[in-house]
Amino acid sequence: MRTLIATVAVLALCATPLRASVRILSSPGGEVGPFLDLFEAVRNSGERVIIDGPCFSACTLVLSIVPNDRICVTRRAVLGFHAARSVDRRGRFYAEPEASELVLEAYPAAVRDWIIRRGGLTSHLLLLRGRELAAIYRPCR
């Protein structure tokens, strides 16, 4: 929860009324629900999203919620994808294959195809960055 609060704070502080944008500087992800709420609010506000650093795990749901034409990436942008997982009461992680399939299907086609070409969503972190990322999302100006 502390990670999510820090992430939300970074996103909120980086919203600039003059440019109407939200800048993602660094997000390790976290619980899915709060990210869905946050990105739906961004989508509904009309703001654009600047990915300017690591955006891992649940943070990548921004790609499924905010329209592609309102997302841009900087040279520092890195997207990190992995299979959905939950934590039990003892703190052990377990796979959520149905949730992974839903998340994969929700990503834009170009992102989904990139993930599938690399073996799909697994426990291994897939990193999309550099030229491959710039081929999918426009660079920020």
Domain ranges of the chain: 2-82+122-139
pTM equals: 0.85
pLDDT digits (tens, 9 = 90+) for 11-49: 544 444 445 799 999 999 999 999 999 999 999 999 999
Q: What is the pLDDT of residues 86-131, one digit of tens each?
A: 989 999 999 999 999 999 999 999 999 999 999 999 999 999 999 9
CB 82 within 8 A of CB 59: no
C-alpha pair distances (Å), 100 with each of 9, 38, 51, 112:
27, 20, 23, 12
**Tens digit of each residue's pLDDT (9 = 90 or more) over 39-72:** 999 999 999 999 999 999 999 999 999 999 999 9
> Which pLDDT value is given to residue 19?
53
Mark out the alpha helices in the chain (DSSP H runs). Answer: 2-13, 32-45, 62-65, 97-106, 109-117, 130-134
Residue 73 above 90 pLDDT?
Answer: yes
